[in-house]
Chain A
Amino acid sequence: MENLFTTVIISRVKRTLLNSFSCVVISLLASGCANLGVDPWERDLLAKKEMALTSSPIDAALDDHIYFSKEASSGGKSFGGGGCGCN
């Protein structure tokens, strides 16, 4: 009985977390974005290789393999964006 109650609460919390996360993302997309960011000529630091979201793809691939073999979670990371913003 108690387990069912806890399960319901946890699933509600999960749903709320998911909703909040989506809200943050959507509101950032809808409004906040225009205020954030830099002018195209101010990307000197972002253009550095070390500032790429995955600055060491080799290390990331090796680590992913290790953790995939030893743990139950995998992936979920890394995509485009950032950098020098050229062209």
Chain B
Amino acid sequence: MKKYILILMVIFASKAVFGSEINSKLQLEQAIQANHGKVIYLDFWASWCGPCRKSFPWMNKMQNKYQDKGFTVISVNLDAKKELAEKFLLENPAEFTVIYDAKGLTARHFKIQGMPSSMLIDRNGEVKVAHSGFFTKKVPQYEQEIQQLINTK
């Protein structure tokens, strides 16, 4: 509990000092922390990315199917202009968390190689699988990977 309060204080302090630039990285860290113990599908997307549009219905499907088994999707939007992302979300609603990172800090941190990019984080907080791009043909494989991590204790 103390540790949690300490972290919160640091977060608030950093927000005050560094403003919104650090927000996205911290937001992501918070989100991952909050879901520790669950399998996390971390996805990086942007409104101008065609395959990202294709992946949304599938990510919604996965979120709904496996959330009761300790799984969640956390997505990071990399649009330079938030309005474009919001317009995209109106046409392609997300049933999962969306963190806005207009400056691409998290992308840089994770050394993203392509769009979209996704990684699977296991229950211990380790990145187990990373994908660059979203391919319809690989959808069964993507789902298999999620199932495998869910079943690993």
- Direct touching of A and B (C-beta under 8 Å): yes
A: residues with CB less than 8 A from B are: 39-44, 47-48, 84-87
Interface size, chain B (Cβ < 8 Å) = 24
B49 near A84 (CB under 8 angstroms)?
yes
A41 near B44 (CB under 8 angstroms)?
yes
B: residues with CB less than 8 A from A are: 44, 46, 48-52, 78-81, 84, 104, 107-108, 112-117, 133-135
Pick the residue among A44, A85, A86, A87 that contacts B80 (CB under 8 A). Answer: A44
Tell me whether chain A's interface is mostly helix, strand or loop, or mixed: loop
The total of Cβ contacts below 8 Å across the A-B interface reads 49
Tell me whether chain B's interface is mostly helix, strand or loop, or mixed: loop
Given contact pairs A39-B107, A39-B108, A84-B50, enumerate 19 new A-B contacts (beta carbons under 8 Å): A39-B112, A40-B112, A40-B113, A40-B114, A41-B78, A41-B112, A41-B115, A42-B104, A43-B115, A44-B46, A48-B48, A84-B48, A84-B115, A86-B50, A86-B51, A86-B114, A87-B114, A87-B134, A87-B135
